[in-house]
Chain A
């Protein structure tokens, strides 16, 4: 793992640590303080967006494990989110399973289905795989739309509100539920890449034939990567089911897959921190645009009329701009900023 210059490791343990310098610990402390203050500083609307971000972070981290770390392009994110959401919703509304258990089962089911749809990855690469996962997205969408018994013929599932959640403090309580779950999920994902399994994922990404030659079991690495990634995505889907209290297929279309891919591209492929930045960026962008649009719309009515189209255009422009200017995303920009400060007044 590349670390900054000027840091010398004397033991392998020290090198494997997640944080090496005092500055890194200090920044972590700042982030934690910020996360603890956030719910009391924001109003309900923005707290709701913070909650959606927390859910999206889990999904983006899951997708980055697959796309950024293992190099298997997936357009099936929406489908896997749907599997997680539908499984947990059906289990807790109809089978009467307690919510934590339903979420765990949902994670396992999504991981299984992810591994199943990952099987073509054993023979396919790159662009062909991307198209195969597009097919898995469409097939899962067809199933959740057309199999009436999933939703008892209603087309949607209503998930009852968790018993201890009050109406007035809905967003606040959810924030305190989601924050630890997301924190643990991100930490877990970060730690996977300190293990041999995580390293084997990266070996498959960088050069799969060479990886096989040095003894990485490619089949195992690819299928596990699909399962692990889908597990995170399933968790994200399940959380969104309880948080939004309805499950409909409209929330899991191909656009959602694209949105999540955009998150990890903008954030930085192959970086857990990048997935977090990307999720924050991509979830905040439409909210901020709405805000700006409403302000500007008073003077220029065109903006109010065309707000959805403008949002789509800016979404696309954001993706293109990042790919053209900084293909390694926000994570790289952030580390460059840190370097600039650290080496100031020298350039490097």
Chain B
């Protein structure tokens, strides 16, 4: 029982981070119809930017977070302006490949500046543990769930209440209609990339705090795909459901069956879902016409 609870906490923490990473992914897809294969590298770059501010420049962690957020916004806007905007209207394969190329460049840049060795970063979250129902719970993972929950809630409120959030939803729904209503689609695209980079930054920093600052953070980007397929490529609530499901599933499989199997099980789920529901569980079905 205590093992089960522990796995659940680990799974929820992983799932919460996954949901954050997937949120950025869905934001970009919803607003711009781009599949971002560089999402994992956004996490990686985010984690290293925070590391630079926090450890190298010795800023207090609040200031370091601010520096990280500003860096992430700049990264997102630059990528949108110089890499994705020229490709508006191009085929799916071009857009996929350009983000793959981008991921290769980002990863190489991180490798050039920081090398491949694992960087130690002082833990921001307390590392103790609390007793609950006979299980020893790591505090930092509980806090990760909390922080991710707060960030996700903030994003949801932003979409529902704020002017820009509503404009984003309008663009996602129908670009031309949004244009006629005086919404700048360009600004919304830039905003989507900036927000995606920020949510990736949060995910990257949390992930780095749980493990370490290293190149492996980028591999988290691939597990985002089962998450978004489970939730639907264009569904924000779907990312939370999908993230938590995949996070729990991975932990249970690795805890009760085989850690190796846990790496591949999300993809098996992905194929199974796509066979039954080609647009994911919460995804919007599109009617195609000639």
Enumerate chain A interface residues (CB-CB to B < 8 A): 67, 73, 119-120, 123-124, 126-128, 130-132, 134-136, 138-139, 141-142, 145-146, 207, 209-210, 213, 254, 258, 261-262, 265, 269, 306, 308-313, 315-320, 323-324, 327
Contacts and interface: CB of A to CB of B under 8 A. Distances in A.
Q: State the main secondary structure of chain A at its contact with B.
A: helix
A230 B236 CA distance: 36
B93 interface: yes
B264 A262 contact: no
Interface string B45-65: 000000000000000000000
B99 to A, nearest CB: 9
Contacts of A309: 108-109, 111-112
A207 B290 CA distance: 7
- Contact-residue bracket for chain B: 35 or more
Contact of A324 (B86, B105, B267): B86
B225 interface: yes
B101 A320 contact: yes
A146 B87 CA distance: 40
B86 A312 contact: no
A212 B290 CA distance: 11
Given A258-B100, A265-B97, 16 more contacts: A73-B92, A120-B271, A124-B274, A128-B233, A131-B229, A132-B274, A135-B268, A138-B263, A213-B290, A261-B93, A262-B101, A309-B109, A310-B108, A313-B112, A319-B104, A320-B101
B212 interface: no
A42 B146 CA distance: 63
Contacts of B90: 323, 327
A140 B194 CA distance: 35
A123 B264 CA distance: 22
Nearest to B34: A127
A312 B97 contact: no
A286 B279 CA distance: 39
Contacts of B105: 312-313, 316-317, 320
Nearest to B41: A316
A265 B92 CA distance: 12
14 contacts: A120-B271, A127-B233, A128-B279, A135-B226, A136-B271, A139-B267, A209-B290, A265-B93, A310-B108, A315-B101, A317-B105, A323-B90, A323-B94, A327-B94
B111 A132 contact: no
B260 A142 contact: yes
Contacts of A320: 83, 98, 101-102, 105
Contacts of A311: 108
A55 B207 CA distance: 40
A295 B100 CA distance: 29
A138 B224 CA distance: 14
